Structure 1
Amino acid sequence: MRRFTRGLTACALVLATVAGTAGWAAGDVQTAVTGPPPGTAAWTADRLFARPLPDPASATPEQVARFFAGLTAAQRTALAERHPLVVGGLDGAPPDLRYAANARALTAGRDHELARAADPEQPEGARREARARAATYDGLLTPGRRVLAFDPRGRGQVAEVYGDLRTARRVAVVVPGSDTDLASYDVAAGMARELRAEMTRRSPQDRPAVIVWVGYTTPVGVGWDAATGHLAEEGAPRLLRFLDGLAATTRPVAPPSVFCHSYGSVLCGAAAHRLTGRQASDLVVAASPGMRLEHAGQVPVGARSRLWATARNATDWISRIPPVELFGLGHGADPAAPGFGARVVASDRAEGHTGYFAPGTASLSNYAAIAVGAYGAVTCAHPIGDTTTKDCSHGLA
């Protein structure tokens, strides 16, 4: 009975903290975008080559990669022109082909939104929304941008590459948290750019590439979605498939390091049970409200010894979220707590909830060292496991 009472108290504390941190009413319940890319029905019905095309709903990224490897350049281009939304979002398709397909899809989307914005029959609110989305699409069409995934459904999803995946010897993926979508991923994109700049400074010979992956429906505000794991559970298979696609189409010297920020760490926790060493060499969480894991040992072999958490800075509001989970509310243990078992990297000079990737911070320096495999350069915030050493490379190969 006493344990049950403590649980109810903790649950009430979660509710009160969420409500007091940013306002429960600020949250908005989202319907997750799931399933294969838009346009899949037309793709599967196409008999351009007198044989079925790989089903985006069931074909693995490895099977997709083999399919495209068997086509001529002209055949690949023809498919990208006929089905840009499918090819652009198809994990396992060649990255350069996806860039071209997404540019085509974004151009069509921009033109469609501009037509809506100019339509006098549309309500003013709809016209204003169309103008904003057209401007977003136009920005993504800036020469030199590499859009690896684009999905206009819902609030929109996107993945963008900074660097060149064809030549990169080291690759990292940034998974952002709440309030991130097609129109509002500037902060997450900044994290990716700063990480790549620091990786390049530390190891220019690795020609690093960093991807900002907004491939799931994120919570809006701080409310029910942010306090529960349902959007993370819906997004986890999408992240795993995306990582499988990178494994099938890129050849870095090691699998990517995956950096999960805020609610993104909840998603990474949901994916961790199925994560393999082929998909990721390191899993790093920052500003985490919890991963819905009890301890680091729940991450499978291959990533277990390289699960990293970030010491919270004193001005990060996430520290006010209780480390509990009950009746589906809250996200459980703090991954940065000494008893969790992760390697906790120092974050000196980081400020606020999004400041861990800021230049000059210990956290960004540590992230870059992890991403290029320079584990001996990582500074830990407290001793590793049952040892007395703060050497973050202790026990790593």
Structure 2
Amino acid sequence: MAFELPPPLAELRTRVRAFVDDAVIPAEKAILEEDREKKRDTLNALRERTRAEGLFVPHLPKEHGGLGLGIMGMCALFREMGRSPVGAACFNCDAPDQGNMDLLLKAAAPAVRERWLAPLARGEITSGFAMTEPAPGAGADPSNLKTRATKVDGGWLIDGHKWYTTGGGDASFLIVMARTSDDPRTGATMFVVDRQADGVEHVRDVPVMSPPILQHREAELRFNSVRIGDDAVLGGVGEGFRLAQARLVPARLTHCMRWLGWADRALHMCREYVLTRESFGKTLAHHQMIQKKIADAVSGIHAGNLMTIHCASMLEQGLDKEARPYSSMAKNHVARLLCQILDDAIQMHGSLGYSEDMPFSLWYRFARSARIADGPDEVHDVVVARDFLRGALTTLV
């Protein structure tokens, strides 16, 4: 496997990194302050700049305004965008919109794709992904799906209760997973639902550990006999679980890419601090316990980067099924790593790190969801162990 980027992609990565350093990071505070009032002036201004520089929606095909990057190219760019928690949003490739754009491209009926993809790609609207339900419904185990879609003349009626629908409160449309039969494999179907359709009730935005950041607001929704047309079906009836895997496997990797950039930025902030802060007659960098934290972080980021690149390479070769356990392994490693590095950053900075004079406490609260979103640690550990035990995953490649 070659690790060197082709020159055009290396140049593109340099441009993205420079933009994040020069424009996005200095604007973080303004973007987050405006976001508390659901304003987006600074974010929209930066989006206009990324659009003008040809860096907007880089994951989409060129005919839809993007750069046509494969997932290996996304690895290079998304790491740089991820160095800021608002970075991906500035390039219009944050979750859940990025994954939903991909689903619309792959599986939406032409009229549905025409209605929703273009404005989503232009950054004019946002979307949500509604799969998780309150108990006893679908959570870590999607087979518990309770939301039901009933076939009626000319379409479907959806009834159910969802929560932790990322971006669902402000979305223009939702991708909703609903049960269409009791078959354990083919009993689920994905639907595209207008958020303003009759019967879609926004119950609340669920209060969570972190203050909300841009689209990362978790909505609770009810679907009360929501009527949709036959063309709202994504892919085909009964393909919900298959499409969920097609969406979530690469989505886990794009999360990893962003998280690696974020972890790397935090580590370099720690480096700058421990090289100058003195304690007990020497800089923190000369204390072995600090060196241990630094060494673990450096090794962890390097390992996580290699895991992500390896899995992305498998996806680029069309080995989607084979890549699943590797995506679980990468997702767990990088999610845990990010949380550990941010916790260590707080510790190394002491009371300064715990204060809001530094970003680490906010970052940690936001990052902690990484170990739950798109499957909790425990589910991915089971996938890795199960596939290794049955010979579907190798430790040395």
- TM band (smaller chain): under 0.3
Bigger strand fraction: 2
Give the alignment's TM-score, normalised by structure 2.
0.23
